[in-house]
Amino acid sequence: MKIKPDLENLSLTRKIFGFDENFKRKKLDVIEERPITLFLNNQEIVTMMTINDYPEYLAIGYLLNQNMITKKTRIEEVEYHDDLNAVIVRTLKVTNYEQKLKKKIITSGCAQGTVFGNVMENFRKIKFNNYSKIKKSWIYDLSKKINLTPSLYLKAGAIHGCVLCEKNRPLIYMEDVGRHNAIDKIAGYLKVEKISPSNKIFYTTGRLTSEMVIKSVQMRIPIIISRSGFTAWGVELARKANLTLIGRAKGKKFIILSGEKRVE
């Protein structure tokens, strides 16, 4: 993998003590979460709770998935200030987003998940073709490789993982306290590294909610796999976009909710 969970980064977890059911003192690894405030030029956009391992990718990906910038937007600079818990994305064109911020809808994402009103307007314009394919053997391979990869989830729990894949190969493995943060980091990575999403597969350890479907469609990734479940609206939106949605992928079993023509 080009990026995978960094278990050597001691800032991402903390040692604490607790007591088990027999009141025996135990030492535990727990996930660190901290607030980070995102600014687009001079406009404060949002404060997110995150493990803060890739703040620049998170910031860019969030703005992309909220339609505040596009793939064509020229980013002049990304400034991260650890002492201020802030990240500033500066673009060539300055735009005021106060009205858009007023239209935000709270979604089911962990930590803070939001979808702005005009995101749905853009979502309705996107419909995938059936050119991309996925083999059943790739689903099995990806599930096994990802689940066996050393991760913060296995070390401390209380965290979600999102993985960008190509065929049966995991490429970018991001984790965070919220699924939406992890997928935004991948979106930011795609833009910074100028990687095409058209032939990629997105795997998530968390449930397939409407927000995850919307963000995947925004990113133009046509296939999503999850080892977890799904919501009715998530399935409905996937079918409208002709997105391949595969849930409950464990071992040799999975459920295809939409886009079944891509599965071979």
Model pLDDT for residues 90-120, shown as the tens digit of each residue:
998 876 665 566 555 445 455 445 555 567 7
Last residue of some domain: 117, 148, 183? Answer: 117
Write down the pLDDT at residue 111. Answer: 45
End-to-end alpha-carbon separation of the chain, Å? 25
pLDDT tens readout for residues 141-181: 999 999 999 999 999 999 999 999 999 999 999 999 999 99
Q: Is residue 40 part of a domain?
A: yes
The residue from 117, 148, 165 where one domain ends is 117
Ramachandran assignment for 41, one of left (phi > 0), alpha (psi -120 to 50 degrees), beta (any other): left
* Helices assigned H by DSSP within 194-246: 210-218, 232-240
Task: Evaluate whether residue 219 is within a structural domain.
Answer: yes
User: Is residue 245 domain-shared with residue 193, that is, in the same domain?
Assistant: yes
Q: How far apart are CA 133 and CA 101, in angstroms?
A: 37
**How confident is the model at residue 100, as a pLDDT?**
61
Say how many C-beta atoms besides its own lie within 10 A of residue 78's C-beta: 16
Tokens of 6: 């960094």
Tokens of 7: 């278990």
Q: Domain check: are 105 and 151 in the same one?
A: no
List phi, psi (to 5°) of 233. -70, -35
Per residue in 187-238, pLDDT (tens digit) is 999 999 999 998 999 999 999 999 999 999 999 999 999 999 999 999 999 9
* Residue whose token pair is 């073709």: 129
We report the CATH number of the domain holding residue 182 as: 3.40.140.10
For residue 237, what pLDDT is reported?
Answer: 96
Average pLDDT over residues 14-39: 96
Q: Indicate if 140 and 258 belong to the same structural domain.
A: yes
211 lies in which domain range? 136-262
229 and 153 in one domain?
yes
Report CA-CA distances (Å) from 244 to 66, 93, 127, 218, 230. Answer: 22, 35, 11, 14, 13
For residues 223 and 249, give the distance between their C-alpha atoms in angstroms, rounded to a whole number. Answer: 13
Return the CATH number at 74: 3.10.20.10
Computed over every residue of the chain, the mean pLDDT equals 91
User: Do residues 238 and 149 share a domain?
Assistant: yes
Instruction: State if pTM tops 0.75.
Output: yes
- At which of 87, 117, 147 does a domain end? 117
Taking phi first (over 0 means left), then psi (-120 to 50 degrees means alpha), and beta for anything else, what does residue 220 get? left
Question: What pLDDT, on a 0 to 100 scale, did the predictor assign at position 213?
Answer: 95
Q: Per-residue pLDDT for 64 more than 90?
A: yes
Count of the separate structural domains present in the chain: 2
Strands 75-81 and 223-226: unpaired
CA distance 173 to 1: 8
**Residue 149: CA count within 13 A, CB half-sphere:** 26
Same domain assignment for residues 156 and 184: yes
